[in-house]
Every structure is written in structure tokens, then in C-alpha cells.
Amino acid sequence: MTSARSGPPGTAAGPRGPAGASVLARAALERYEATEPLVHAFETLESSLVLRRAQAIDRRGAPRGGLWGAPVAVKDIFDTAGERTSCSSRVLEGNVPRTDATVVARLRAAGALPFGKTRMHEFGCGVVNTPTRNPRHPGHLPGGSSGGSAAAVAAGVCRAALGSDTGGSVRIPAALCGVVGFKPTYGLVSRYGMFPASPSLDHVGLLGRHVRDVRLLLDAVRGPDPLDPLTLEPFRPRRAGLRKGPCVLGVPEALFSGYVQPGVAAALAEGLAALRAAPGVTLEPVELPGWNEQFELYVRVSLPELARVHADLVDKHADSYTKDVRLLLEHAAAFPAGELAATLREKDALRTAYAELFTRHGLDGLVLPTLPVTAPPAGTPVFHWPDGTTWDLTQAFAPLILPASLTGLPALSLPCGTDGAGLPVGMQLVGHWGEDDELLALAERAEGLLAPPDDPEAEADG
């Protein structure tokens, strides 16, 4: 059987022969059949449609790129022509778009095979992602809201997947499931055809078994799109040398010890030691700006925008929402929308403060824990800290994720070993605005130094 770490043979790994897409599709479907009864990563998947589309790719002729024929799972938040897009909600259970989201259309153009629609926390409004389970430890949560996409990758069904990241919805499940999760710079990838949550924070997110898988996805989907004017902002040219040359990484040291679980701290300490010992890498102690105010700022930005997005749907379909999301929307509707403009100016000021931090210390990037905790057991509504403090899961997951969410900076979660129970730990890298290629080069460099989580095949097979 295919290893869950390596995935179906050859997926998203390079050019294929003329029959490659059909071969890869059948391998992915076999893995799906073996893992889905336990993992529940997919909202919808029609095997016959997958095979027909794979055959159509084969008929297009010789491969023309690294994604040719590769199955790529698609979060149920993206429009897919002729396939239901429900955001894992009864509110949209009859929604069948006529056109693809831009990122899906670009995947098809690159020769990739969109492979089913993955489960998500309803409308992206949470981090639990029921009923999806963590392939590495099926008694534990995968995180969310892109938990189905992360689980599909971790279970070895696909080497890569599309997700979305508003407040960490790609990086959270990537860390918990032991895969790579990347949030590009805000505006680098079109969001046309992606159901919004908070438009000033929403990003398309990418997941993969390895950094190279994410890089292939980014190359396929990035770039200007007149249907999403935010993508028209010019970005900096590339800087050279970060793959092998000297680099300076800022490390907020206090966040690596007392702020995180002991098992997370131990895995991250090993990861930092590996980075520190690498030729040309300098770790520079830093303090993050706006740290104590960021969660409140995120709430004041995201909730009024969320209420605006759902206003008409709530009026017509309030009873069709799950209880937790309906309560969140009621809470969001109580926020004074008139204060949003001033709040967005605070968010812009935070981005400026981070730019100044990078300049002041001469940083090429930041290194953070992705999460302070590992995957909680399924059914756990809160997290208990050793000092008796109780946080809900959003509070437990969010703080280390939010700097990149609020500033729009590119950020990536890398597997960084496991805790004492074998649960994956993630290390987060944050880069300069618009320098996504440089951040991915840094991440590939770091990936070879950090301990990956154990092979989850046994757990995924149940």
C-alpha cells in the first residue's frame, strides 16, 4: 500500500507519461476508499467524474508541468463548475456553480486534476471541522476550517490541496496534521469564486506534503485577475540567495517556552537548534509589535465583515445554520459596523509596524510556533492550561497565527517533529510582504533541517 507520507505514487511531483493522470487518479481513489471511512476528509467526491476528467487530461497530450495529472483536493469553499459548493452547510446544499473559481480554473489549465470537495468548518467559521478526524491520530481533531484539505494530504490521498486562510484556517490544520500549510501575501492569489468570510483578511491557502508541492500550486494559481482587483497590486521583485546564502530570522523567544505546551516547546527547541547550527543562519531575538492587542483587533475586523457577508442568508435560512455558527453570527451582528473603517486603519498600522521590525533588525523572516498546543481529542470544546486557565479552541489556536493574518504577510507552517504523545508540532515562518518566493526558498531550506512527524499510515488505515 502507498505510504501516507509519500502519498499516491508521483502525485504533484513532476511530469508524467501520456496515461499519467488516469494512473494517479486511480491510486488516489484507492487511497480515498481506504482512509475516508475513518478520516471523513471529503464533503463530496464522485469517482466516475474524477476518472473521466483524468482521461480528458491524458487526451490533451504530453505533460507540460509539475502539476500535470496530479490530483489536488479542493476545499468546499471554492466554486467548481457543475459540482456542488456548499461550504459544508445546509444553507447552500443546492448550490451548483456554473463556473470555476479562478484558482480552480488555473489548476485545470496547469493540467492538475481537481479531486473532490473537502469538508470544512461551516462557512469557515471555526476550527473544529466535525466530523473530519486527524489521520495521524484519528481520536483527535484535525483543526480547521480547512481541516478536510489538511486531512486529505496527511492521509496520503493527495499530495496537495486548496484551502482558505482568514484567521489561520490553513496553518492551524497543517500544524495539527503534520503537513505544510502556506498563506500567500494578501492579494497575490485571486479569491474570485471563493465564498468570503472577512474580505479584508481572506486569503487562498495551499497545503502539501512538502514545500515543493506548495510551490507548484502557487506557481499555477498566482497572479493578476481582473475579477479580483486586489490581485492587481504590484509586488516586490525577488531577492536572491535565501535558499543557500546568509539569512537572519527573528525569533520572539518568550513565545517558545512558557507560552506553549511543554511537548510543543521541546520539539520547537530542537527545531531552533537545527536552524541555529545551519551554515549562514542567524537567529535574532525580537519582540512582536501589537502582541497584546491583536486578538481584539482581529475580532473587531472579522466579525463586522462576517455579519455583512451573511446578512441576507441569515434572514432567509437562519434555522439551517449549525448552532455554533448561528450564535457566532448573532454575536457578529451586534458589532458596530460604523467603526470598521477606523479598525482597518489600525490593521494597516500594524502592517507598517511589522515592516519597520523587519527593517530595524535586518530580517529575512520571522520564526514562530504555529500553535501553542497539539491536536486536542475529538469532542473537546475547550483547552485547559496547566495553571487552570480555560480557553475555547479558537483562543488556544489563534494568537500565534494572527500576526500574519492581520498584516497580510506570507506565512507557512512546517512540520517540526512531535510531542511526547506523537502528535505533530508546527513551526511557522513569516516573510516580507510580496516575497513569497523567498519565503518558500527559506522553507525548503528549513524543511531539510526539521524533524518530520512520524509516518501516519497505520493510524490513517485504522
Peptide bond between residue 372 and the one before it cis (omega within 30 degrees of 0): no
**pLDDT the model gives residue 461:** 39
Quick check: 163 and 181 in contact, CB under 8 A?
yes
pTM score of the predicted model: 0.93
Catalytic residues: 75, 145, 169
Quick check: 78 and 72 in contact, CB under 8 A?
no
Burial (CB < 10 A; 0-12, 13-18, 19+), residue 219, is middle
For residue range 57-84, list pLDDT tens digits in order: 999 877 778 999 999 999 999 999 999 9
Mean pLDDT across the chain, nearest whole number? Answer: 90
Residue 174 sits at the vertex; the CA angle it makes with 170 and 178, to the nearest 5 degrees, is: 175
Pairing between β-strand 113-118 and β-strand 71-75 as defined by DSSP bridges: parallel
**pLDDT the model gives residue 381:** 77
Angle subtended by helix axes 20-39 and 47-59, to nearest 10: 160
For residue range 172-182, list pLDDT tens digits in order: 999 999 999 99
**pLDDT over 70 for what percent of the chain?**
92
Q: Which of 156, 170, 193 is nearest to 78 (CA)?
A: 193
Q: What is the mean pLDDT of residues 142-164?
A: 98
**Rounded-to-integer distance, Cα 216 and Cα 156, Å:** 18
Report which secondary-structure segment, H or E, holds 72.
Answer: strand 71-75
**pLDDT the model gives residue 83:** 95
Pairing between β-strand 113-118 and β-strand 42-44 as defined by DSSP bridges: antiparallel
In CATH, which superfamily holds the domain spanning 20-285+362-455? Amidase signature (AS) domain (3.90.1300.10)
- In this structure, the number of other CB atoms found within 10 A of the CB of residue 99 comes to 13
- Residue 81 vs residues 43, 97, 117, 122, 163: alpha-carbon distances, Å: 16, 5, 12, 21, 17
Tell me: pLDDT of 16 over 80: no
**Rounded-to-integer distance, Cα 295 and Cα 315, Å:** 29
Quick check: 156 and 459 in contact, CB under 8 A?
no
**Rounded-to-integer distance, Cα 363 and Cα 352, Å:** 15
Instruction: Please report the beta strands in 359-454, taking only residues with DSSP state E, as ranges in sequence order.
Output: 365-369, 382-384, 390-392, 411-418, 424-430
- Helix, strand, coil distribution of the chain in percent, nearest 5: 40, 15, 40
For residue range 224-252, list pLDDT tens digits in order: 999 999 998 877 655 554 556 789 999 99
Instruction: Please report the beta strands in 343-462, taking only residues with DSSP state E, as ranges in sequence order.
Output: 365-369, 382-384, 390-392, 411-418, 424-430
Mapping DSSP to helix (H, G, I), strand (E, B) and coil, where does residue 117 land?
Answer: strand
Q: Which of 290, 296, 311, 305 is nearest to 336 (CA)?
A: 305
**Rounded-to-integer distance, Cα 355 and Cα 434, Å:** 12
Q: Which of 419, 377, 430, 371 is nearest to 395 (CA)?
A: 371
